[in-house]
Amino acid sequence: MMKLNQISNLSKIIDECVHCGLCLSSCPTYLTSGLEAKSPRGRLLIMNQIQENPEVLDKEMLQHLNTCLDCRGCETVCPSGVEYHLAFQETTNIINKNQTLPFLSTFILSEIKNKKILPLIKWVVWISKKLRILSLLSKLGINTAIQGNSIPVNKIEDLLKIKSGIHKTNQISKGLIGLYTGCIMNEWFIKVHKSTINVLNTLGYNVFIPENNICCGALHQHSGDSGTAFQLKSESENIFKNCDFVVVNSAGCSAELKSNNTKIKYLDIIEFLNSVEIKMKNSWNKNIIWDAPCHLSHAQQLATTTTELFNKLKIEPISWSGQEICCGGAGNYTLIHPQESEEILKLKYNQLLKYEINYLVTSNPGCHLQLEKGRQLYNRNFQIIHFVELIEMIL
Amino acid sequence: MITEQFLNSIKRKLSNEKIRINPNELKLYANDGLQLHEAVPGCVILPDSTEEIAWIVKQCIKYKIPFVPRGAGTGLSGGSVISDGVIIQLSRLNKILEIDIPNRCAIVQPGVVNAYLTQEVKSQGYHFAPDPSSQIASTIGGNVAENAGGPHTLKHGVTVNHVLGQTIVLPNGKITKIGGKHRYSAELDLNSLFTGSEGTLGIISEIIVNLSKDPLSTRTLLLIFDKISNATDLVTEILLAGVIPSALEMIDQLCIQAVENHLKIGFPKNASAILIIELDGEIENVNWELEQIKHISKKYVSEKIIEATSEKDRQNLWRGRKHAAGAIGNISPAFYTNDGVVPRDKLTPILEFIQFVSRKYEMKIANLCHAGDGNIHPLILYNPKDKKEIKKAFDCSTEILLKCIEYGGVLTGEHGIGIEKIHLMEKMFGKQEIELQRKIKHGFDKNNLLNPGKLIPDKMGCGELNIFNKQFSS
Ligand SMILES: Cc1cc2nc3c(=O)[nH]c(=O)nc-3n(C[C@H](O)[C@H](O)[C@H](O)COP(=O)(O)OP(=O)(O)OC[C@H]3O[C@@H](n4cnc5c(N)ncnc54)[C@H](O)[C@@H]3O)c2cc1C
Ligand code: SF4
Ligand code: SF4
């Protein structure tokens, strides 16, 4: 519960902002709107207005605040070390005390918690893909269809859950790693989990897969429901108690899991891969772009670690401007703020489209879905893959 | 004052979304990077073309409403704030229109962020030379308006040296173009007149800027001192020896500590001061300069010179320097800085004077200097919730600036006069010089509606001159 003490300090955080404005150009919503109210500096002032007068909430200003992706791009560049996300969380808590969450948010969050909706979507998407309904509707520009079509379930194997229990390496084991299977990853990205197990086994580790879906509570936390987030996080404490450590292949989840005091050692897959020796069978000669998830570079500050890892693997992703800016995926942002999300995606693709590439690499399901949506909208042929799928190809 | 008629007229042409009038939203525009001065506008309008700017300006004239252009609002002299008037916010004019490598120039809209232009041409071996520490966010329009400088100004010049042409919406709403891709001027040097005019003579809506070739080699050094005067004396000696580093930056102990608290660059926390020196150019030349510096610095430095051994190392040092002012947020809820300039050989005495002012007012002052240019940045720490401290911070700054003038320097090296230093203009300039500047302003802006009360005092000696000062003495 450390965190609750930490974040009860809204005004202290707001005071640390010296109004220098250096964060403006790192904020996706400022870049698309040009509005101070949709910039980190402006939002901190809105938070101040809210804390000074929580009973009278100005709907328009709330809307500006709510369009924040919580991507934390502003924190990376802020010279003053303003912990924007803590201020944002505490303000969201204040707001939620004074008004109810919009229906769509509540619905999505409760469905994720109940763990029913994700498998259902997966099957509906798969069948619609088979019957070519989705690609037809996507071509007509229907947003939900494009979003559905972005879910990477193409073959029947992509739907079938991985066996729980221990997946053994065929070498002398270096240790037992728990794989944090998550909620969305465990239903829609089974393919990535399979690659992860394969990579970890090849590197000489046994991998433990829990029986049920687990959830880090990130989406709940960002919507101001810290209670549910905490409860969800605690559920996994016991599940992994026999593992040496737990590897997380979704940057959003690793960031959230690490933010709590916990007995378990969580490592993002990128951190883990950078810490072990990797013997490559194949060298890499395809053009790739790495689009770092915000929760990796900004929330966990692992940008340098990723660069080191690429150097170690002798892979040189194309250097491009725009990678430190969020793609507009940001959890359920696409569903709640479709228009803003699409404008931000356009910003990203305006840069991406300048390059000829074979693969676009990421390591977070939300980014994966959003980038895939962009790929379809802009009609490109490259493939979007997870970092472990890239490693799998060279191991 | 914004009137109903004005708003109705604007709404007839522009979509509501481009016109911001919610009072809570307008409060967010009450400051730029200068926290000391607050002024809430009556309306913020976001045009997306030169023609739209011109049209808005004409409406402002018709309804006699003062207006001011705003870029990223990182300015440090209160230039882009206005009380009750209209802010013409240029953040949506953010496109790079053309990159012309054969002619070594680019055409940009004013809202393009400085660093984005360099990012865009980096792969071709070019960059945009003006590099204010705010370059990751400040706009090229704002840089031109303030004639921004940066650490590399010493060798590569300030913004005005890199502006080839401009499209300007004049205060009467007419659009005019000056300069061009060529590097010669047939007219009076209007490019220089508008550059640095702080948004008081016209609104820049397009800029043709010079692109510079990346240097063949770069060496970056960190020098450590146990006495500030050793650092400042060395600066003078280096330049006397005929070495022109591309950058020569000084950071003092308090500032080092703020940086290290948060950014952990690896600056020595107990050093009295450090110098970051960068050399660039032909390899042989750079090597010669390096030898000179090593030789001259022997009797000044307290530790061995550290050299950045990789681009990553170099970027890290610069991150420390460029984020140094902002890092003050770590040790104080607010800071106030001016950017006075002294002749280089007066660096040591002015820094001693700053120490004196600090003791006199019992206010902490950290120091950053573009030392090679004699451009100081005393960062005065204060509590924004304490009125007395606000007043003290302002008085400290005034004393320091007056000393700069006494030493034969100027009021501002790069942040501009804005509203912040306007009360000192008459101390700096004689009656005639001010009058001349007023005539120029009047020639362009008869109605005095464009960014009034900034840069050039309206009337000498009258009460209005001290608007800023008045705010705190009440
Ligand atoms: C942390 C920090 C570090 C800084 N470091 C430096 C530095 O090293 N060197 C330096 O020179 N400055 C520095 N500055 C000051 C500031 O960043 C510069 O003055 C910058 O050029 C302002 O750009 P902007 O886009 O933020 O302009 P704004 O602050 O929005 O505006 C500044 C002035 O320019 C006018 N203006 C803006 N756009 C236009 C336009 N298109 N046409 C006409 N007038 C216009 C405005 O009316 C205003 O008077 C620093 C500021 C901060 C906060
Ligand atoms: S960079 Fe940090 S200190 Fe500067 S305005 Fe943004 S949040 Fe505030
Ligand atoms: S978290 Fe992201 S979207 Fe929110 S203010 Fe910061 S940069 Fe902008």
Helix/strand/coil (H/E/C) assignment for every residue in A238-257:
HHCCCCCEEEECCHHHHHHH
Q: Say what the pLDDT of residue B463 is.
A: 39
In this prediction, residues B451-470 reach a mean pLDDT of 65
Q: Which of A18, A25, A319 minimises the CB distance to B328?
A: A18
pLDDT category of residue B62 using cuts at 50, 70 and 90 = very high
- pLDDT surpassing 80 at residue A261: no
Q: Which of A60, A82, A319 minimises the CB distance to B22?
A: A60
Q: What is the mean pLDDT of chain A?
A: 83
In a domain? residue B380: no
In a domain? residue B151: yes
Distances (CA, A) of B307 to B310, B315, B332: 9, 12, 31
pLDDT category of residue A303 using cuts at 50, 70 and 90 = confident
Question: Starting at the edge strand that comes first in sequence, how are the strands of the sheet with B67-70 ordered?
Answer: B19-20, B43-45, B86-89, B67-70
Assess whether B41 and B138 both reside in one domain.
no
Distances (CA, A) of B149 to B114, B142, B239, B415, B462: 12, 12, 19, 9, 32
Assess whether B246 and B190 both reside in one domain.
no
Q: Say what the pLDDT of residue A93 is.
A: 82
Q: Say what the pLDDT of residue A105 is.
A: 63
In this prediction, residues B31-57 reach a mean pLDDT of 95
CA of A48 to the centre of ligand 3 (A): 16
The CATH code of the domain at A288-394 is 3.40.50
In a domain? residue B338: no
Burial (CB count within 10 angstroms: exposed 0-12, middle 13-18, buried 19+), residue A160: exposed
- pLDDT surpassing 90 at residue A234: no
Backbone angles phi, psi at B215, to 5 degrees: -65, 155
Assess whether B132 and B163 both reside in one domain.
yes
Assess whether B117 and B187 both reside in one domain.
yes
- pLDDT surpassing 80 at residue A185: no
Backbone angles phi, psi at B195, to 5 degrees: -70, 125
Decide which of B89, B110, B133 is a domain's last residue. B89
In a domain? residue B374: no
In this prediction, residues A102-115 reach a mean pLDDT of 63
- pLDDT surpassing 50 at residue A3: no
Q: List all residues 6 or more positions away from B184 whose beta carbon is below 8 Å from its beta carbon.
A: none
Q: Say what the pLDDT of residue A240 is.
A: 83
Q: Say what the pLDDT of residue A4 is.
A: 40
* Chain A residues 58-97 with a CB less than 8 Å from chain B: 58, 60-61, 64, 77-82
pLDDT category of residue A99 using cuts at 50, 70 and 90 = low
- pLDDT surpassing 70 at residue A111: no
- pLDDT surpassing 70 at residue A263: yes
CATH value at residue B21? 3.30.43.10
More confident residue, B101 or A8: B101
What share of chain B in percent tops pLDDT 70?
A: 97
Minimum CA distance residue for ligand 1 atom 27: B142
Q: Say what the pLDDT of residue A45 is.
A: 96
Distances (CA, A) of A205 to A199, A254, A269, A336, B367: 9, 20, 13, 40, 53
CA of B196 to the centre of ligand 1 (A): 10
In a domain? residue B142: yes
Assess whether B223 and B177 both reside in one domain.
no
Q: Do A321 and B116 touch (CB under 8 A)?
A: yes
Which top CATH class is A4-97? Answer: mainly alpha
- pLDDT surpassing 50 at residue A217: yes
The DSSP symbol for A161 reads P
ipTM computed for the complex: 0.91
Minimum CA distance residue for ligand 2 atom 6: A23
Q: Determine how many CB atoms are found less than 10 A away from the CB of residue A233.
A: 23
Contact B206, B107 (CB under 8 A): yes
- pLDDT surpassing 80 at residue A307: yes
pLDDT tens digits, B292-351? 999 999 999 998 999 999 888 999 999 999 889 888 888 888 889 999 999 999 999 999
Strands A266-268 and A165-167: what pairing?
A: unpaired
Token reading at A100: 């109810």
Q: Say what the pLDDT of residue A109 is.
A: 64
Q: What is the mean pLDDT of chain B?
A: 93
pLDDT category of residue A114 using cuts at 50, 70 and 90 = low
Q: Which residue has the tokens 């700054």?
A: B397
Q: At what angle do helices B387-406 and B347-361 cross, to 10 degrees?
A: 150
Domains of chain B: total? 4
pLDDT category of residue A84 using cuts at 50, 70 and 90 = very high
Q: Determine how many CB atoms are found less than 10 A away from the CB of residue A96.
A: 14
Q: Say what the pLDDT of residue B448 is.
A: 94
What share of chain A in percent tops pLDDT 90?
A: 27
In a domain? residue B339: no
CA–CA gap between residue B140 and residue B146 (Å, rounded): 10
- pLDDT surpassing 70 at residue B469: no
CA of B101 to the centre of ligand 3 (A): 35
- pLDDT surpassing 50 at residue A343: yes
Q: Say what the pLDDT of residue B252 is.
A: 95
Token reading at A73: 């791009």
The most confident of the ranges A4-8, A12-16, B122-126 is: B122-126
Contact B382, B335 (CB under 8 A): yes
In this prediction, residues A8-32 reach a mean pLDDT of 91
Q: Which of B195, B124, B185 is nearest to B159 (CA)?
A: B195
Assess whether B142 and B174 both reside in one domain.
yes
Q: List all residues 6 or more positions away from A33 whose beta carbon is below 8 Å from its beta carbon.
A: none
* Chain B residues 31-60 with a CB less than 8 Å from chain A: 31-33, 35, 44, 46
Assess whether B114 and B202 both reside in one domain.
yes
Contact A78, A24 (CB under 8 A): no
Burial A209-219 (b: 16+ CB within 10 A, else e): bbeebbbbbbb
pLDDT tens digits, B221-272? 999 999 999 999 999 999 999 999 999 999 999 999 999 988 889 999 999 9
* Chain A residues 308-337 with a CB less than 8 Å from chain B: 319, 321
Minimum CA distance residue for ligand 3 atom 8: A27
pLDDT tens digits, B177-229? 999 998 887 788 999 999 999 999 999 999 999 999 999 999 999 999 999 99
Size of interface A-B (CB pairs under 8 A): 111
B447 is in which domain, residue-wise?
422-470
Question: Where are the domains positioned within chain A?
Answer: 4-97, 288-394
In this prediction, residues B142-164 reach a mean pLDDT of 95
Domain A4-97 shares a fold with domain A288-394: no
Decide which of B301, B326, B351 is a domain's last residue. B326
Q: Say what the pLDDT of residue B275 is.
A: 96
Residues in chain A within 8 Å Cβ distance of B27: 45, 49
CA–CA gap between residue B240 and residue B243 (Å, rounded): 7
In three state form, how does the secondary structure of A90-137 look? HHHHHHHHHCCCCHHHHHHHHHHHHCCHHHHHHHHHHHHHHCCHHHHH
Distances (CA, A) of B154 to A266, B32, B313, B386: 49, 26, 22, 38
CA of B6 to the centre of ligand 2 (A): 34
pLDDT category of residue A107 using cuts at 50, 70 and 90 = low
The most confident of the ranges A103-112, A309-318, B181-190, B233-242 is: B233-242
